[in-house]
Protein backbone atom coordinates (compact mmCIF):
# COMPACT_ATOMS: atom_id res chain seq x y z
CA UNK A 1 0.00 0.00 0.00
CA UNK A 2 1.28 3.45 -0.90
CA UNK A 3 2.32 5.46 2.15
CA UNK A 4 -0.03 8.35 2.85
CA UNK A 5 1.50 11.81 3.24
CA UNK A 6 -0.27 14.26 5.51
CA UNK A 7 -0.15 17.94 4.61
CA UNK A 8 -1.88 21.09 5.82
CA UNK A 9 -2.59 24.45 4.19
CA UNK A 10 -3.30 27.88 5.59
CA UNK A 11 -6.55 29.66 4.70
CA UNK A 12 -7.18 33.38 5.25
CA UNK A 13 -10.86 34.22 5.71
CA UNK A 14 -12.54 37.50 6.60
CA UNK A 15 -15.82 38.92 7.74
CA UNK A 16 -17.44 41.90 6.05
CA UNK A 17 -16.13 44.62 8.38
CA UNK A 18 -12.82 45.26 6.60
CA UNK A 19 -11.82 42.67 3.98
CA UNK A 20 -9.28 45.18 2.62
CA UNK A 21 -7.21 44.79 5.79
CA UNK A 22 -7.42 40.99 5.56
CA UNK A 23 -6.31 41.25 1.93
CA UNK A 24 -3.26 43.31 2.96
CA UNK A 25 -2.36 40.67 5.53
CA UNK A 26 -2.78 37.86 3.00
CA UNK A 27 -0.55 39.62 0.47
CA UNK A 28 2.24 39.85 3.05
CA UNK A 29 2.46 36.04 3.15
CA UNK A 30 1.61 35.39 -0.50
CA UNK A 31 -1.79 33.85 0.20
CA UNK A 32 -5.18 34.71 -1.30
CA UNK A 33 -8.08 36.02 0.74
CA UNK A 34 -10.53 33.22 0.15
CA UNK A 35 -14.24 33.71 -0.38
CA UNK A 36 -16.59 33.37 2.56
CA UNK A 37 -20.32 33.40 1.90
CA UNK A 38 -22.13 35.49 4.51
CA UNK A 39 -25.92 35.58 4.48
CA UNK A 40 -27.63 38.34 6.47
CA UNK A 41 -31.30 37.67 7.02
CA UNK A 42 -34.01 40.32 7.25
CA UNK A 43 -34.13 40.02 11.05
CA UNK A 44 -30.31 40.64 11.25
CA UNK A 45 -29.33 37.01 11.88
CA UNK A 46 -26.24 35.78 10.04
CA UNK A 47 -25.06 32.53 8.46
CA UNK A 48 -21.58 31.72 7.12
CA UNK A 49 -20.31 29.19 4.60
CA UNK A 50 -16.58 28.59 4.09
CA UNK A 51 -14.52 26.85 1.37
CA UNK A 52 -13.05 23.36 1.80
CA UNK A 53 -10.71 23.51 4.81
CA UNK A 54 -10.65 19.90 6.08
CA UNK A 55 -7.45 19.21 7.98
CA UNK A 56 -6.10 22.72 7.40
CA UNK A 57 -5.24 25.83 9.42
CA UNK A 58 -7.87 28.56 9.19
CA UNK A 59 -7.27 32.20 10.19
CA UNK A 60 -10.43 34.29 10.51
CA UNK A 61 -9.66 38.03 10.46
CA UNK A 62 -12.28 40.46 11.72
CA UNK A 63 -11.99 43.67 13.73
CA UNK A 64 -14.98 44.40 15.93
CA UNK A 65 -15.74 47.85 14.62
CA UNK A 66 -19.20 49.38 14.61
CA UNK A 67 -21.66 47.76 14.53
CA UNK A 68 -19.64 45.79 17.09
CA UNK A 69 -22.12 43.03 17.89
CA UNK A 70 -22.65 42.27 14.20
CA UNK A 71 -18.90 41.99 13.65
CA UNK A 72 -18.51 39.60 16.58
CA UNK A 73 -21.33 37.34 15.43
CA UNK A 74 -20.03 37.30 11.85
CA UNK A 75 -16.63 36.17 13.06
CA UNK A 76 -18.19 33.56 15.34
CA UNK A 77 -20.28 32.23 12.45
CA UNK A 78 -17.22 31.89 10.19
CA UNK A 79 -15.24 30.18 12.96
CA UNK A 80 -18.08 27.76 13.59
CA UNK A 81 -18.45 27.00 9.87
CA UNK A 82 -14.72 26.28 9.61
CA UNK A 83 -14.83 24.02 12.64
CA UNK A 84 -17.85 22.16 11.25
CA UNK A 85 -15.97 21.80 7.96
CA UNK A 86 -13.31 19.83 9.88
CA UNK A 87 -10.58 22.46 10.01
CA UNK A 88 -7.61 21.21 11.97
CA UNK A 89 -6.94 24.54 13.65
CA UNK A 90 -8.99 27.77 13.80
CA UNK A 91 -7.43 31.06 14.86
CA UNK A 92 -9.59 34.12 15.50
CA UNK A 93 -7.62 37.26 14.66
CA UNK A 94 -9.24 40.37 16.06
CA UNK A 95 -7.00 43.36 15.26
CA UNK A 96 -9.42 45.33 17.43
CA UNK A 97 -11.49 43.26 19.85
CA UNK A 98 -14.87 44.55 20.91
CA UNK A 99 -15.61 44.99 24.62
CA UNK A 100 -11.89 45.13 25.35
CA UNK A 101 -12.49 47.97 27.82
CA UNK A 102 -15.12 45.94 29.70
CA UNK A 103 -12.36 44.27 31.66
CA UNK A 104 -13.96 44.49 35.09
CA UNK A 105 -17.53 44.98 36.33
CA UNK A 106 -18.28 47.87 38.69
CA UNK A 107 -20.68 45.78 40.76
CA UNK A 108 -22.18 42.30 40.99
CA UNK A 109 -25.41 43.32 39.27
CA UNK A 110 -24.00 44.27 35.86
CA UNK A 111 -22.86 42.24 32.89
CA UNK A 112 -19.20 41.34 32.40
CA UNK A 113 -18.85 41.78 28.65
CA UNK A 114 -15.08 41.48 28.19
CA UNK A 115 -14.91 37.74 28.97
CA UNK A 116 -18.30 37.09 27.35
CA UNK A 117 -17.24 38.45 23.96
CA UNK A 118 -14.08 36.34 23.95
CA UNK A 119 -15.92 33.22 25.07
CA UNK A 120 -18.36 33.57 22.16
CA UNK A 121 -15.43 33.11 19.77
CA UNK A 122 -14.10 30.26 21.90
CA UNK A 123 -17.48 28.53 21.99
CA UNK A 124 -17.80 28.93 18.22
CA UNK A 125 -14.70 26.78 17.81
CA UNK A 126 -11.63 29.01 17.93
CA UNK A 127 -8.71 27.32 19.64
CA UNK A 128 -6.58 30.48 19.47
CA UNK A 129 -7.32 34.22 19.71
CA UNK A 130 -4.84 36.87 18.57
CA UNK A 131 -5.42 40.60 18.94
CA UNK A 132 -3.42 43.79 18.52
CA UNK A 133 -2.73 45.96 21.59
CA UNK A 134 -5.39 44.73 24.05
CA UNK A 135 -6.69 47.41 26.40
CA UNK A 136 -6.24 45.22 29.47
CA UNK A 137 -3.58 42.67 30.29
CA UNK A 138 -6.02 40.44 32.16
CA UNK A 139 -7.69 39.47 28.86
CA UNK A 140 -5.54 36.34 28.87
CA UNK A 141 -7.58 35.03 31.79
CA UNK A 142 -10.99 35.53 30.20
CA UNK A 143 -11.14 32.20 28.35
CA UNK A 144 -12.66 29.10 29.94
CA UNK A 145 -10.68 26.31 28.27
CA UNK A 146 -7.02 26.17 29.31
CA UNK A 147 -6.31 24.70 25.88
CA UNK A 148 -7.45 27.87 24.09
CA UNK A 149 -4.43 30.03 23.35
CA UNK A 150 -4.51 33.81 23.68
CA UNK A 151 -1.74 35.95 22.18
CA UNK A 152 -1.57 39.75 22.04
CA UNK A 153 0.43 41.43 19.28
CA UNK A 154 2.00 44.78 20.24
CA UNK A 155 1.83 47.55 17.67
CA UNK A 156 4.98 49.30 18.86
CA UNK A 157 7.28 48.02 16.06
CA UNK A 158 5.08 49.76 13.47
CA UNK A 159 4.63 52.90 15.60
CA UNK A 160 8.35 53.12 16.36
CA UNK A 161 9.11 52.94 12.65
CA UNK A 162 6.58 55.71 11.94
CA UNK A 163 8.00 57.99 14.65
CA UNK A 164 11.59 57.36 13.53
CA UNK A 165 10.72 58.20 9.93
CA UNK A 166 8.70 61.35 10.61
CA UNK A 167 9.96 62.96 13.84
CA UNK A 168 13.37 61.75 14.97
CA UNK A 169 15.87 63.98 13.20
CA UNK A 170 18.77 64.21 15.63
CA UNK A 171 19.78 64.82 19.22
CA UNK A 172 18.42 68.38 19.14
CA UNK A 173 14.96 67.53 17.75
CA UNK A 174 13.31 68.34 21.12
CA UNK A 175 10.96 65.36 20.93
CA UNK A 176 9.14 64.38 24.12
CA UNK A 177 7.11 61.16 24.48
CA UNK A 178 3.88 61.86 26.36
CA UNK A 179 1.50 59.45 28.09
CA UNK A 180 -2.14 60.61 28.02
CA UNK A 181 -2.67 59.14 31.50
CA UNK A 182 -0.73 57.35 34.23
CA UNK A 183 -1.98 53.95 33.07
CA UNK A 184 -0.15 54.34 29.77
CA UNK A 185 3.11 55.56 31.36
CA UNK A 186 4.78 52.15 31.64
CA UNK A 187 4.13 51.27 28.00
CA UNK A 188 5.24 54.66 26.72
CA UNK A 189 8.49 54.37 28.66
CA UNK A 190 9.46 51.86 25.97
CA UNK A 191 9.27 54.55 23.29
CA UNK A 192 11.17 57.10 25.39
CA UNK A 193 13.95 54.60 26.11
CA UNK A 194 14.07 53.35 22.52
CA UNK A 195 14.53 56.88 21.14
CA UNK A 196 16.44 58.16 24.19
CA UNK A 197 14.02 61.05 24.59
CA UNK A 198 12.40 62.62 27.68
CA UNK A 199 8.85 61.75 28.63
CA UNK A 200 5.89 63.38 30.31
CA UNK A 201 2.51 62.31 31.68
CA UNK A 202 -0.85 64.04 31.47
CA UNK A 203 -2.44 63.54 34.89
CA UNK A 204 -6.21 63.32 34.60
CA UNK A 205 -9.32 62.38 36.53
CA UNK A 206 -12.13 60.56 34.74
CA UNK A 207 -15.49 62.06 35.71
CA UNK A 208 -17.73 59.68 33.75
CA UNK A 209 -18.01 57.49 30.67
CA UNK A 210 -16.08 59.16 27.82
CA UNK A 211 -15.48 62.19 30.07
CA UNK A 212 -12.23 63.34 31.67
CA UNK A 213 -10.87 66.37 33.45
CA UNK A 214 -7.20 67.14 32.85
CA UNK A 215 -5.52 68.18 36.08
CA UNK A 216 -1.78 68.52 35.49
CA UNK A 217 1.19 67.69 33.28
CA UNK A 218 4.08 65.85 34.89
CA UNK A 219 7.37 66.60 33.15
CA UNK A 220 8.85 69.45 31.16
CA UNK A 221 7.10 70.06 27.82
CA UNK A 222 7.80 73.74 27.10
CA UNK A 223 9.30 74.21 23.61
CA UNK A 224 9.09 70.46 22.99
CA UNK A 225 7.62 68.54 20.06
CA UNK A 226 5.26 66.30 22.04
CA UNK A 227 4.23 62.89 20.74
CA UNK A 228 1.26 61.60 22.74
CA UNK A 229 0.70 57.85 22.27
CA UNK A 230 -2.40 55.92 23.38
CA UNK A 231 -3.93 52.54 22.63
CA UNK A 232 -7.16 54.02 21.27
CA UNK A 233 -9.07 57.18 20.44
CA UNK A 234 -12.82 56.86 20.95
CA UNK A 235 -14.71 60.16 21.17
CA UNK A 236 -11.39 62.08 21.19
CA UNK A 237 -12.34 64.13 24.26
CA UNK A 238 -9.44 62.80 26.34
CA UNK A 239 -6.80 63.19 23.65
CA UNK A 240 -7.87 66.74 22.68
CA UNK A 241 -7.93 67.86 26.32
CA UNK A 242 -4.50 66.33 26.85
CA UNK A 243 -3.12 68.11 23.80
CA UNK A 244 -4.62 71.41 24.98
CA UNK A 245 -2.96 70.95 28.38
CA UNK A 246 0.41 70.37 26.70
CA UNK A 247 0.02 73.44 24.47
CA UNK A 248 -1.02 75.55 27.48
CA UNK A 249 2.25 74.57 29.16
CA UNK A 250 4.33 75.72 26.24
CA UNK A 251 4.62 72.68 23.97
CA UNK A 252 5.78 73.66 20.48
CA UNK A 253 3.31 71.24 18.88
CA UNK A 254 1.49 68.00 19.66
CA UNK A 255 1.32 64.83 17.57
CA UNK A 256 -1.27 62.21 18.52
CA UNK A 257 -0.73 58.53 17.73
CA UNK A 258 -3.02 55.63 18.66
CA UNK A 259 -3.31 51.99 17.73
CA UNK A 260 -7.09 51.86 17.41
CA UNK A 261 -8.99 54.75 15.83
CA UNK A 262 -12.52 54.04 17.04
CA UNK A 263 -13.65 57.61 16.34
CA UNK A 264 -17.15 57.43 17.82
CA UNK A 265 -19.71 60.24 17.85
CA UNK A 266 -18.07 63.68 17.85
CA UNK A 267 -14.49 62.37 17.42
CA UNK A 268 -13.92 63.50 13.83
CA UNK A 269 -15.39 66.96 14.48
CA UNK A 270 -13.28 67.36 17.62
CA UNK A 271 -10.08 66.28 15.90
CA UNK A 272 -10.79 68.47 12.89
CA UNK A 273 -11.32 71.50 15.13
CA UNK A 274 -8.20 70.69 17.18
CA UNK A 275 -6.08 70.45 14.05
CA UNK A 276 -7.52 73.65 12.58
CA UNK A 277 -6.83 75.70 15.73
CA UNK A 278 -3.33 74.26 16.19
CA UNK A 279 -4.02 72.24 19.34
CA UNK A 280 -2.92 69.11 17.45
CA UNK A 281 -0.47 69.15 14.55
CA UNK A 282 -0.52 65.53 13.39
CA UNK A 283 -2.82 62.55 13.96
CA UNK A 284 -1.96 58.94 13.10
CA UNK A 285 -3.66 55.64 13.87
CA UNK A 286 -3.07 52.09 12.76
CA UNK A 287 -5.32 50.29 10.30
CA UNK A 288 -6.90 47.91 12.81
CA UNK A 289 -10.16 49.82 12.23
CA UNK A 290 -11.60 51.58 9.19
CA UNK A 291 -11.68 55.36 9.23
CA UNK A 292 -15.24 56.75 9.37
CA UNK A 293 -16.71 57.84 6.05
CA UNK A 294 -16.78 61.47 7.19
CA UNK A 295 -13.02 61.62 7.84
CA UNK A 296 -11.38 64.43 5.83
CA UNK A 297 -8.62 63.19 3.55
CA UNK A 298 -5.84 65.15 5.28
CA UNK A 299 -6.93 64.63 8.89
CA UNK A 300 -5.53 61.22 9.84
CA UNK A 301 -2.49 59.28 8.64
CA UNK A 302 -2.54 55.48 8.72
CA UNK A 303 0.14 53.18 10.10
CA UNK A 304 -0.30 49.64 8.84
CA UNK A 305 0.03 46.69 11.22
CA UNK A 306 -0.75 44.16 8.48
CA UNK A 307 2.89 42.93 8.35
CA UNK A 308 2.81 42.26 12.11
CA UNK A 309 -0.41 40.25 11.82
CA UNK A 310 0.94 38.40 8.79
CA UNK A 311 4.10 37.43 10.64
CA UNK A 312 2.02 36.14 13.54
CA UNK A 313 -0.02 33.98 11.13
CA UNK A 314 3.16 32.63 9.57
CA UNK A 315 4.61 31.75 12.97
CA UNK A 316 1.44 30.01 14.10
CA UNK A 317 1.27 27.99 10.90
CA UNK A 318 4.92 26.93 11.22
CA UNK A 319 4.47 26.15 14.93
CA UNK A 320 6.79 28.95 16.04
CA UNK A 321 6.41 31.40 18.90
CA UNK A 322 4.39 34.56 18.34
CA UNK A 323 5.15 36.32 21.61
CA UNK A 324 8.83 35.55 21.09
CA UNK A 325 8.82 37.88 18.08
CA UNK A 326 8.77 40.90 20.39
CA UNK A 327 11.18 39.99 23.17
Interatomic CA distance for residues 221 and 180, integer angstroms = 13
Q: Can you give the pLDDT at residue 311?
A: 96
Interatomic CA distance for residues 23 and 134, integer angstroms = 22
Interatomic CA distance for residues 164 and 113, integer angstroms = 37
pTM of the model: 0.91
Rounded to 10 deg, the angle between the 306-317 and 19-28 helix axes is 60
Going by C-beta distance under 8 Å and a sequence separation of 6 or more, which residues neighbour residue 72? Answer: 64, 98, 117, 120, 121
Q: Can you give the pLDDT at residue 247?
A: 96
Q: Can you give the pLDDT at residue 209?
A: 63
Residue 320 has a CB neighbour count (10 Å cut-off) of: 12
| pLDDT, tens only, 208-220 | 666 666 668 999 9
Q: Can you give the pLDDT at residue 1?
A: 44
Q: Can you give the pLDDT at residue 321?
A: 87
Q: Can you give the pLDDT at residue 210?
A: 61
Instruction: Give 296: exposed, middle or buried? Use CB within 10 Å, 0-12, 13-18, 19+.
Output: exposed
Q: Please say whether the beta carbons of 158 and 191 come within 8 A.
A: no
Going by C-beta distance under 8 Å and a sequence separation of 6 or more, which residues neighbour residue 289? Answer: 18, 63, 65, 95, 96, 260, 261, 262, 263
Which parts of the chain have pLDDT scores under 70? 1-7, 137, 205-215, 327
Q: Can you give the pLDDT at residue 147?
A: 81
Instruction: Give 96: exposed, middle or buried? Use CB within 10 Å, 0-12, 13-18, 19+.
Output: buried
Q: Please say whether the beta carbons of 197 and 177 come within 8 A.
A: yes
Active-site positions read 204
Amino acid sequence: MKERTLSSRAHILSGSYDPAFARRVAREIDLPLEDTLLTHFANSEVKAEVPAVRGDHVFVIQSHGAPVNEAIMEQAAIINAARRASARDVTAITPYRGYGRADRPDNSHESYMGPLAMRILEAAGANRIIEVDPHAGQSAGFLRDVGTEYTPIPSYPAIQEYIAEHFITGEDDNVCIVSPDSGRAKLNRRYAEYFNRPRAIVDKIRTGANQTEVMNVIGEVAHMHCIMIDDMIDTAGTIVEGAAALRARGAEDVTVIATHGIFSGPAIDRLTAAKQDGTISHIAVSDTLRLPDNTPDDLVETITVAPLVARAISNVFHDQSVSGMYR
